[in-house]
Structure 1
Amino acid sequence: MRMGLAIDASCDLPQAFLEEHDITVMPITVRIDDKVFMDDRNPAEQARFLQQKLGSRGHSAETEPCSVEEVQRLFLDKLVLERDCVFCLTITATRSPINEHVIKASFAVLKHYREVREKAGLTGPFLMRVIDTRNLFVGTAPTIVEATRLIDAGETPAAIRERLTHIANNSYGYMLPRDLYYLRARAKKKGDRSVGLVSAVLGSALDIKPLIRAYRGDTTPVGKVRGFEHGAETLFNYAAQRVHAGLLVPAVSLSFGGDPAELAKLPGYDVLKAACEACGVALMESPMSITGMVNVGEGAVALGFAAEEHVAEF
């Protein structure tokens, strides 16, 4: 059985990894004033976004994930011909309509795929499975990484779906924003009251940064640190501890709202890198998606891994 993966563009993973595993990316359109960007994890488009220096205006962006009709076309024109089973992994349904769009599209795909495949001389059924990773941005990576391992191992679709659901329920995504005013403006734009004006003003005045965690569909601050670099060190040291304690998927994913080469310059990075090397864990670094940057701001750091349920203390 030819199995494959499709993800939405806000899922942060290295481009080389996506190409190695032939992962299809469902794009997101981002509009800022009169500028339009196609967020499809294309490095050239990400570079164009950064070169435009729209960081201060990104909070007003409008994002449009793949519509139901666009998902249908992607599958009926391409994926039902190239694969026999496709797992669609999306960011949490509590924060984006993309999961709902893919589920709705699946009804039409499963209704019409036979005629498309028959015209191409293909026989046999086509399976489409939609998985809500229950996380955001780089926090979706553990589920996607595990999916590639299971597919390469030749596991059955039923076994893969069960395992991916377990990993999604135990994936942790952390974000460290650089600019609280930006985060507050973006939250206001989206009707999210999680970052109030008073908190933003006080936090910026005192250089206090929140550590935000995405877990099981919920996004909330779980700690506060003084200074961005101290926050990065705190986050990296915590992740190193989790690596030594044992992960469900042998990978830690990092993304940066800009050039990911900046990650290695942050305090605590070497500790995390050493922990991963000692424990045989892959440290996967990527630029944050355009969608991620307009939501949490340029220069933000995000980190994701999967582990047994635990209480994090910062």
Structure 2
Amino acid sequence: MRVGLIVDSACDLPHEFTRQNGIVILPVTARIDDQTYIDDHDPVKTAEFYERGLLQKGHHAETEAFSAEQIQDLFLKDIVTRYDVAFCETVTRSRSLIFDNATEAMNSVMAHYQEAREKAGLDGRFSMRVIDSKQIFAGQGLLAAHTLRLIDENLSKNALRNRVEDFTDRIYTCVIPRDLHYIRERARRRGDKSVSWFGAFLGKALNITPVIFGQGAEGRPVAKTRRFDVAVEKVMQYAASRVRDGLLSPYVCLSCGLSWEEINALPGLDELKAACDENGVQLLLSQMGITSSIYIGPGSLCLSLGAEAHDFTDYQ
């Protein structure tokens, strides 16, 4: 049974990890000023965006999910003809239309896939499942990495789906937004009132950098610092301590909307790397993708891991 895994462009993973494991990227359309780009996780394109400062202030940037018709075309061309079973894990449906559009596309594909498989010389049935990851960015990347491990266990498709969906509720994520005003403006344009004007004002007036922590995409402020590097060090120390206490999956996923020079100089990163090495955990470190960076703002950081119930303050 050939099992394929699809993620959308909001999923942050190292490009080489994605390539080596054959993960299929469902692109997202990015509109920056008057230009339209397709975010397909091309590392060269992503690096160019950072180098040119296209995600900085002064540029109007938005993302748009592929339509159901566009997704259907991708499924029929690249998925139906390569796999017997496919799982499409999307960014949390509370933040994007990708889940709904992918589900509509899947339903259409399931009614018409036979012709595409016959043309490709394939026999047998095809099945597919679209899963709401309930995650954003690094959290979605962590779920994808864990799913690959489950695929290697040769589970039945139903058991695999159940294990994946169960793990979505065991992912903890830390987000450090670099600019609360950026998030508030994007939320306002989307009609999302989760970031208040007052909170954004305080963030700028007092130079406050919060640490947002929680399960999945729903988080709360657990620390407020005066400097970005202090917030980063708190998150790194939390993650290193949690790694030493044990994880439910041997991965920590960390994505940063920074240049690689800035990423490698992050305070506490060496401690986290050492903790991962000592405990058989793979640190999946990546430059934040275009879609993620547009959503949360350049210069931000997102870290995710899978663990038993705990709180950020348990490790401070």
- Indicate if the aligned counterparts of 1:38 and 1:45 stay in contact, CA closer than 8 A: no
Distance of 1:141 and 1:108 partners within structure 2: 27
- Is there any run of 5+ residues in structure 1 with no aligned partner, and where? none
1:249 aligns with 2:249: yes
Q: Match of 1:279, as an amino acid?
A: N
Distance of 2:223 and 2:134 partners within structure 1: 21
Show the counterpart of 1:228.
228
- Indicate if the aligned counterparts of 2:5 and 2:86 stay in contact, CA closer than 8 A: yes
Deviates more, 1:241-250 or 1:180-189: 180-189
Q: Match of 1:255, as an amino acid?
A: S
Deviates more, 1:200-209 or 1:38-47: 200-209
Shift of 1:206: 2.1
What is the CA deviation profile of residues 107-127 of structure 1, one whole-angstrom value per residue up to 9, with x for unaligned ones? 111100112212332111101
Distance of 2:242 and 2:269 partners within structure 1: 14
Show the counterpart of 1:100.
100
TM-score, length of structure 2 as denominator length: 0.94
Q: Match of 1:10, as an amino acid?
A: A
Show the counterpart of 2:140.
140
**Percent sequence identity over matched residues?**
42
Q: Match of 2:97, as an amino acid?
A: P
**Consecutive aligned runs of 4 or more in structure 1 exceeding 4 Å deviation:** none
- Indicate if the aligned counterparts of 1:260 and 1:285 stay in contact, CA closer than 8 A: no
Show the counterpart of 1:210.
210
TM-score, length of structure 1 as denominator length: 0.95
Show the counterpart of 2:274.
274
- Across the two proteins, how many residue pairs are aligned to each other? 313
SS of 1:135's partner is coil
Decide whether aligned partners of structure 1 residues 52 and 262 sit closer, same or farther in structure 2, where only a CA change above 3 A counts. closer
Shift of 1:217: 4.4
Show the counterpart of 1:191.
191
Q: Match of 1:195, as an amino acid?
A: V
Distance of 1:188 and 1:221 partners within structure 2: 20
SS of 1:41's partner is coil
Distance of 1:294 and 1:57 partners within structure 2: 13
Distance of 1:49 and 1:234 partners within structure 2: 28
What is the CA deviation profile of residues 82-141 of structure 1, one whole-angstrom value per residue up to 9, with x for unaligned ones? 111111011111111101111111111110011221233211110111111111001112
SS of 1:276's partner is helix
What is the CA deviation profile of residues 38-80 of structure 1, one whole-angstrom value per residue up to 9, with x for unaligned ones? 111101221232233231035x322111211111111112211
SS of 1:168's partner is helix
Decide whether aligned partners of structure 1 residues 19 and 67 sit closer, same or farther in structure 2, where only a CA change above 3 A counts. same
Shift of 1:204: 2.0
Show the counterpart of 1:118.
118
Shift of 1:241: 1.4
Shift of 1:216: 4.1
SS of 2:193's partner is coil
Shift of 1:212: 1.9
Show the counterpart of 1:82.
82
Distance of 2:148 and 2:192 partners within structure 1: 34
1:57 aligns with 2:58: yes
Deviates more, 1:191-200 or 1:174-183: 191-200
- Is there any run of 5+ residues in structure 2 with no aligned partner, and where? none
Deviates more, 1:63-72 or 1:200-209: 200-209
Q: Match of 1:28, as an amino acid?
A: V
Distance of 1:307 and 1:178 partners within structure 2: 26
What is the CA deviation profile of residues 258-308 of structure 1, one whole-angstrom value per residue up to 9, with x for unaligned ones? 324422312111221111111111011111111111121111111111111
What is the CA deviation profile of residues 1-34 of structure 1, one whole-angstrom value per residue up to 9, with x for unaligned ones? 1111110011000000111111110001111221
Show the counterpart of 1:302.
302
SS of 1:81's partner is coil
Q: Match of 1:269, as an amino acid?
A: L
Show the counterpart of 1:237.
237
- Indicate if the aligned counterparts of 1:133 and 1:169 stay in contact, CA closer than 8 A: no
Distance of 1:260 and 1:163 partners within structure 2: 34
Deviates more, 1:260-269 or 1:278-287: 260-269
Show the counterpart of 2:158.
158
Distance of 1:34 and 1:144 partners within structure 2: 33
